[in-house]
Structure 1
Amino acid sequence: MPVSTLLPTRIPGRWAPLFLALALVLGLSSAARATHLVGGEMDLQYLQGNSYQFTLNLYFDAVNGNPGALDNDLTVSIFEKGSNRRMLNLSLPLTTNTLVNYTNPACTRAELVTRRIVYAARVELPASIYSNGAGYYAAVERCCRNNGINNIVSPADAGQTFYLEFPPVVRNGLPFRDSTPRIFPPLSDYACLGELFYYDFGGLDSDGDSLVYELATPFNGYSTTGVPKPTEARPQPYPEVRWLAGLSEQNQIPGAPTLSINSLTGRLEVRPTDVGLFVFGIKCSEFRDGVKIGETRRDFQLKVVSCPRNTAPVMNVQLPGTSRSYLPGRDTLRLRPGFSRCISLRFTDADSPSRLSLSVRPVNFPATLLPSFTLTQGMVKTPGAPDTLVSQLCFPACFDSKGQVYLLDVIVADDGCSLPKRDTVRVAFTAIPDPNSPPTITTTAVQPLRARVGELITFDVTGADADNDPLTLTMTGVGFTPTDQGITFTPGVSGNQIRGRVSWRVDCRAVGRPLYELDFLVSSTLCAEAQTVRLRVPIQIEYSNSPPVLSSNLPPTPAPTEPPIRIRRVVGGVYEATFTGTDADNNPLVLSATGNGFELAAAGMSFRATNGSGTASALFRWEANCAGLKLPEGALEVTFQLQETTCRPEPQTRVVRFELINPDTLAFTPPNIFTPNNDPNQRNEFFTIPNLPPDFCDSRFAGIKVFSRWGNQVYESKLRNFRWNGGQQPAGVYFYLIEFTDGRKYKGPITLER
């Protein structure tokens, strides 16, 4: 840990030896040139798609470090493993600059200050590029380390290489997402000579991969005092720092025992035997399904100083109901109903003054339920303070060890530096919980409930607990969501009960099923364990509907496969029909008439209805006019409907085709010969057709033309009463063409005989 020669002006007597030792140590290096690197590590986190984020945590000596060595950005280089092919150089801008806190703030010293400098940037790693099965590695090189380091050769000239490995982003043709380990706690504490130093150096992995820790020799890299910040990192292998004689990767800090790390937890431990500043390295390997997929390297520094003597606190555990002390390894505390569940604790410290604090740590059971202290901390051996503190550790009445012997570490810690001294008593215990009755649930609903559409259902549901445990009351639907049906449930607390009111105005949404079941659950919670009781309330929906009856004076309704009813009238004719609707359920009825593609009034039609509940009547009238001929086939199709207002209506309909009768005569027989021979009686002297089809609405006589057998027109007239005497045409067969305005045509031969 970096330090400086600056000392506070006021030094408490207890700490004077420590500061004297720090001053002696630091004074030896005060003339050395200022450097800055304390340690650091990188991580790579998956974001989305092909996007990842590189983060470099760099730890900076805020006291001895040269402010000019604080970079605004650093460059990370990515290489392909095996081939060392350079893939990318990525600039990492500085994002945050914060102080690193001590484990025990009371041990903070102005001359021991570390800053955490974070550099970060997003990077795209497309599967089309980063798919090599060997994986990839990334490195950042920077010089130089603190010159006061005591376990490596030429520390002031030693650089630092931050390094990590990551897998390809695709495996077996599928995306392979991985985020490297991160959130390694920074080290801001110092160690005391001859005393055990411990620290949790473990990281976290967002993918749940297994992490394994081991000691590693820190990388030196290729950066130098001449080129402290290379524009890019060089590919591996990276030179390592050189240990001083007698030290090695497995003996990085002189100690008894030397520095070690728990391979599973990342907990560091060392009992240093030399004062000084020591660098150390850690490698964290990442495994998925038993296969290594990456690693992160981290190196840091630990300052070892001579500290004032600090005596560990002492704690005595007294069995409940006795004056006898608990003997770890021999006694088992048995907690059972009707007896005290509290043990007495007496704790003190030979040092004066001393602040002591209590804590517990479960050994072989989950930490979801723990006993509580009546006193968690206090001062001893100060003016007005006792020499010994007393606390009660009480187990909840609901604690259940389920027939097993649980182990609980009861810990007392002082406020000594650099880390607290502790005394731990491991308590073995069994616990049988006090009897606890399950909750009860009742309802005011008279079952089975029956309801019709339009009715309002209300009832109450009440949950209670004889032990006054906290309660919750909920409602769910069996196979449906109550709110979708408009069912509301409003719970509230009434004394030691919880009560909820159900309200449901049944509407047409309920007709979809004949039975609705509501489940009510009341749960009592004691010691994080819930007891739940269920009550099911069925509600039957009663719904029936008789279709309405439509009657009229129309002709009988044809079979479904036959054409609709046909009503025929000549222009000017009148037709009337009456309609009556009845409904046995007395539902509101509506009679209506709708023209298929036309308005009734435009066709001379009217429909007057009198609607009501259970009955309805109407009168239809048609005054035939020519409007019908404007529709396809000259037909007017009208749908008469009786509609009821109910949840599942069954409308009754009649479809009627109203047609105009064309007065075209069947006696239309044009002559086929005429003889213009000056008959005194004028018989058959002219070609004329007195019984031409009459004009009808838009169908009017347009004219007649007569043609010779060679197609030459020999006669034409626009008059309905035309008379052709043959003119000067010779005898023979001619052809006539009669046309009407609606496109109708009549053709035929006519023989002229003289």
Structure 2
Amino acid sequence: MKHLLLAHFTSRLCWLLLALLAPLAATATHIVGGELELQHKTGSTYTLTLNLYFDAINGEPGALDPQLTASIFAKANNQRIVNIVLPRTADTFVNYTNPACAVGSLSTRRIVYTRDIVLEANTYNSPQGYYVAVERCCRNNTISNIVAPNNAAQAFYMEFPAVVRNGAPFIDSTPRIFPPLGDYACRNELFYYDFGGQDPDGDSLAYDMVTPLNGYTSSTAPSVTQSGPAPYRLITWNPGLGTTNQIPGSPALGIDARTGRLTVRPSSLGLFVFGVRCSEYRRGVKIGETRRDFQLFVLNCPTNTGPQMQVRATGSPAVYRPGLDTLRLVPGGNRCLTIRFTDPDPNSVLTMSTRPVNFTGLLPQFTTASTGRVRAAGAPDTLTTTLCFPECIDTRGQVYLLDVIVADNGCSLPRRDTVRVAFTATQPPNAPPVLTSTFPPAPLPVSEATPVVIRLPLGTRYTATLAGTDADRHALALTATGLGFDLASMKMSFTAQNGAGQADGTFSWDPACEAVPSGGLLVRFRLTETGPCVPQTRDRLVRFEVAPPGDSAAFRPPNIITPNGDKLNDFLTMPDLPVDFCERKFASIQIFSRWGKPVYQSSERGFRWGGQGAAGSYFYLVTYTDGRKFKGWVEVKP
């Protein structure tokens, strides 16, 4: 911890600590701040939560309510919809960014009140939406920037949309503002903190500073059984302060409208309350808002000089010049930076990091130690590390920006030095692998998505070989995958010998009845590179079909019989019927008179029908177990 244990720091804090501790006997509840949130669970069920932040040093434990009441109102007319009792469900401490910077005069607890509620569509359907409020007194009585802080209350406030819109469900979870503030600020030093929210629905969020709500509770009536409707009274700023100047400084406290990042260089000591609003937009229309009240403690801190660094391309004597130089990363060239970093203050622990500015994906990595101590006994004055860009970064002709950051361990927040590095990068060339096989060529037009068809009868075996080669000698792997089935279950097998620049495989298939009902088995044979930046694949699709024996088109039964006893053409038989094949089997023959009356039926393939002694025309119907049918007629002559 940088300088924090120095004796002069204690003496410089002494007057402020005494001022803060003196009035404890008459303090109120010491609410630090808080916010409401509403999260969708399932159907019409939502979770309503109040996060209340409490001064763990000066607060009165007896003021921690076991439950609080939230009231929901319609925005259109301020009509009360329902009161909801929120039980206390959690009580934890808010962490410092750097726990080593903790001071005994600042500790915050996060008290959570929460309950599942049901928002029915026939109730919560007002186009103007709804708001939730919880009122409670009182704030810290040592707050420096508002009038009568000992009697300043708080109204926690949140807006949410109707749960139905244009006759359809409209689901929304309000944004969650993270994280709560656990740190203090140092006078005349830049303070920064991320109040950016997260929205489960992907809605757009916008931030601005607002005056905190006071509401209507007081030190004599600190809690109410239900909140009153809006509008709520505002806290009163001290002279010279206001919404855009809540904490005086250069700059005064402000928030980035897009990122939610708070910044201030405070010019005065004390405890300062402030308010932030996070508005939620969907398709350009505001649908809700969440407000957070909080407070910031400003102390006199020991002087902390920021760290410095120099960046060079490895092997180059020239220092990188941000805004003027652009690194050109090419295959086979140098892809590393040498970074020297130091700090004028003794016993500083320095840490390097990187942050992409305008890109995502692969990031450079530190290949040597990126943290260390300087200017301590036995420690160097300057540290060195190496940052190398992966070979596979490809900027596709654009200039990427990367912030290289060194941070110390100063309090309350680290001081930093940042060098923004601009670079372009190209990947090494990669020739695609080549896949060959003994399969027949695919029909035209040839593509990897066009399968070749292999048709075999039962009782035969099919074998094919495949070979993959790669001119770049990248590692290759051959695989075979049944699309929708397991190879072994269909009596297929595939083995491969994979290696650098070469892969060989052998496939075999023993056609079986299991393959018949599927109407063909589609197998993808794939050759894959492993190791290059963008692995390339080569596919071959093959459809395997079981060919039935014989040809049903050749089936031509007789159409006349002469049952006269001369042993020539005396019976109707069908020896050329399609043979039984797996589950496709002969089922029956039926013969009908010309008027549709059944005269004969048999389930035997070798049936013999002699006309039953009646000349004339008859019709027959042959059926198979797979639903196939053959129809025809036969003439019986004496």
- Work out whether the TM-score is over 0.5: yes
Q: CA deviation at 1:437?
A: 2.5
Aligned length: 592
2:376 corresponds to 1:382:
yes
Structure 2: how far apart are the matches of 1:470 and 1:415?
A: 46
Which residue is equivalent to 1:107? 101
1:358-386 per-position Cα deviation (integer Å, ceiling 9, x unaligned):
1112222x220111111321222233322
Q: How large is the Cα RMSD of the aligned pairs?
A: 4.0
Q: CA deviation at 1:424?
A: 0.9
The correspondence for 1:543, drawn from 527, 543, 548, is 548
Q: Output aligned runs, 1:185-584, within 5 Å.
A: 185-364=179-358, 366-374=359-367, 375-443=369-437, 445=439, 450-454=454-458, 455=460, 457=462, 459=464, 465=470, 467=472, 481-482=484-485, 486=490, 494-496=498-500, 505-508=510-513, 510-511=515-516, 518-524=523-529, 529-539=534-544, 541-546=546-551, 582=575
User: For residues 464 and 361 of structure 1, do their structure 2 counterparts lie closer, same or farther at Cα, with a shift above 3 Å needed?
Assistant: farther
Structure 2: how far apart are the matches of 1:132 and 1:617?
A: 80
Structure 1: how far apart are the matches of 2:514 and 2:114?
A: 56
2:18 corresponds to 1:27:
yes
Look up the equivalent residue of 1:20 and give its one-letter code.
Answer: S
Q: Output aligned runs, 1:107-146, within 5 Å.
A: 107-146=101-140
Are the counterparts in 2 of residues 546 and 584 from structure 1 also a CA contact under 8 Å? Answer: no
Which has the larger displacement, 330-339 or 351-360?
330-339
Which residue is equivalent to 1:68? 62
Look up the equivalent residue of 1:494 and give its one-letter code.
Answer: N
Look up the equivalent residue of 1:368 and give its one-letter code.
Answer: G
Q: CA deviation at 1:467?
A: 4.6
Look up the equivalent residue of 2:366 and give its one-letter code.
Answer: F
Structure 2: how far apart are the matches of 1:500 and 1:231?
A: 78
Structure 2: how far apart are the matches of 1:416 and 1:222?
A: 42
Q: CA deviation at 1:587?
A: 4.2
2:95 corresponds to 1:91:
no
Structure 2: how far apart are the matches of 1:363 and 1:592?
A: 74
Are the counterparts in 2 of residues 145 and 157 from structure 1 also a CA contact under 8 Å? Answer: yes
Q: Which has the higher contact order (CA 8 A, sep 6+)?
A: 2
Report the TM-score, using the length of structure 1 for normalisation.
0.70
Structure 1: how far apart are the matches of 2:527 and 2:202?
A: 36
Q: CA deviation at 1:507?
A: 4.3
Q: Output aligned runs, 1:639-718, within 5 Å.
A: none
Structure 2: how far apart are the matches of 1:386 and 1:470?
A: 45
Structure 2: how far apart are the matches of 1:104 and 1:491?
A: 57
Structure 2: how far apart are the matches of 1:287 and 1:388?
A: 49
Residue aligned with 2:182, SS:
coil
Which has the larger displacement, 24-33 or 264-273?
24-33
Structure 2: how far apart are the matches of 1:207 and 1:135?
A: 18
Which residue is equivalent to 2:594? none
Residue aligned with 1:31, SS:
helix
Look up the equivalent residue of 2:214 and give its one-letter code.
Answer: N
Q: CA deviation at 1:346?
A: 0.9
Structure 2: how far apart are the matches of 1:617 and 1:121?
A: 79
Are the counterparts in 2 of residues 369 and 527 from structure 1 also a CA contact under 8 Å? Answer: no
1:588-642 per-position Cα deviation (integer Å, ceiling 9, x unaligned):
89999999xxxxxxxxxxx9x9x9xxx857999xxxxxxxxxxxxxxxxxxx999
Which has the larger displacement, 194-203 or 481-490?
481-490
Residue aligned with 1:189, SS:
coil
1:303-336 per-position Cα deviation (integer Å, ceiling 9, x unaligned):
1111111111111111233222112222222222
Structure 2: how far apart are the matches of 1:461 and 1:110?
A: 73
Are the counterparts in 2 of residues 491 and 498 from structure 1 also a CA contact under 8 Å? Answer: no
Which residue is equivalent to 1:44? 38
Are the counterparts in 2 of residues 220 and 238 from structure 1 also a CA contact under 8 Å? Answer: yes
Structure 2: how far apart are the matches of 1:523 and 1:363?
A: 34
Structure 2: how far apart are the matches of 1:474 and 1:54?
A: 52
Are the counterparts in 2 of residues 590 and 616 from structure 1 also a CA contact under 8 Å? Answer: no
Structure 2: how far apart are the matches of 1:342 and 1:556?
A: 99
Look up the equivalent residue of 1:18 and give its one-letter code.
Answer: F
Are the counterparts in 1 of residues 139 and 152 from structure 2 also a CA contact under 8 Å? Answer: yes
Which has the larger displacement, 50-59 or 174-183?
174-183
User: For residues 528 and 592 of structure 1, do their structure 2 counterparts lie closer, same or farther at Cα, with a shift above 3 Å needed?
Assistant: closer
Q: CA deviation at 1:135?
A: 1.5
User: For residues 315 and 493 of structure 1, do their structure 2 counterparts lie closer, same or farther at Cα, with a shift above 3 Å needed?
Assistant: farther
Look up the equivalent residue of 2:548 and give its one-letter code.
Answer: Y
Structure 1: how far apart are the matches of 2:540 and 2:392?
A: 26
Residue aligned with 1:150, SS:
coil
Identical pairs, percent: 48
